Amino acid sequence: MIERIKKDLDLKFGAMASEVVECGIQATLLIKKEVFCEVCFWLRDHPSYYFDFLANVTAVDYFPEPKFAVVYHLTSIPFQLQLTLRVEVARDGVPEVPSVSSVWRTADWHEREAFDLMGIYFDGHPDLRRILLPDDWEGFPLRKDYEDPESYRGIPVKI
C-alpha cells in the first residue's frame, strides 16, 4: 500500500517530495516540509485513500544529531488503511513545520502539545501556545538536552 501511495505522490508532487523509510514495524513516508500541507490535503481528499482521521502527532529528538522529526499517524476509516508520515527539521534556530490544523482539526491540540514539550513551531497554527505547562515555563521538557530547573516560582522542582 505504501509503495502505491508513494508512486501516486511522485506523479502529483515529484519524486523528490517523499521517500519511504523503514521505522520499526510500519513503513513511513518522509515528506519534504515545503510540500507537507499540500500532501496532507491530497491524502485526505484523494478518493482512493481518504485519510480522514489524524490519530496522533508526536515529535522525536535525535540529539546529539541536529534534527527533530514530527510524526503523524493517519487513518482512512472507510478504507481501513493506516499511514505514518514524518517531517524532519533542523534542530538549530527555530524548528518549524507547517501546521496541518486546516487539514485535520484534531491537529490543533496535538501540535500545541509538540510545541509545549519539544519546542516545535507550527507555521500557520491558529493558536500556538502552551497546553500543559504554564506560559512562563522555560525550556522544553521532552528534549533530550533539557535540564530541570531547581525551582519554579519558589517551589523546588528537583527531588
Other Cβ atoms closer than 10 A to 134: 8
The whole-number pLDDT of residue 157 equals 80
Q: Where are the domains of the chain?
A: 2-156
Distance (Å) of CA 136 to CA 30, 121, 130, 140: 34, 17, 9, 12
Handedness of CA 103, 109, 110, 114 (dihedral sign): positive
pLDDT tens digits, one per residue of 23-44: 777 889 999 999 999 999 999 9
Which CATH homologous superfamily contains domain 2-156? Answer: NADH:ubiquinone oxidoreductase Nqo5 subunit (3.30.460.80)
Other Cβ atoms closer than 10 A to 136: 8
The whole-number pLDDT of residue 159 equals 63
Q: Report percent pLDDT > 90 for the chain.
A: 79
pLDDT band at residue 15 under the 50/70/90 scheme: confident
Asked if residue 139 has pLDDT above 70, the reply is: yes
pLDDT band at residue 127 under the 50/70/90 scheme: very high
The whole-number pLDDT of residue 155 equals 87
**Predicted TM-score of the model (pTM):** 0.92
pLDDT tens digits, one per residue of 50-82: 999 999 999 999 999 999 999 999 999 999 999
The whole-number pLDDT of residue 32 equals 95
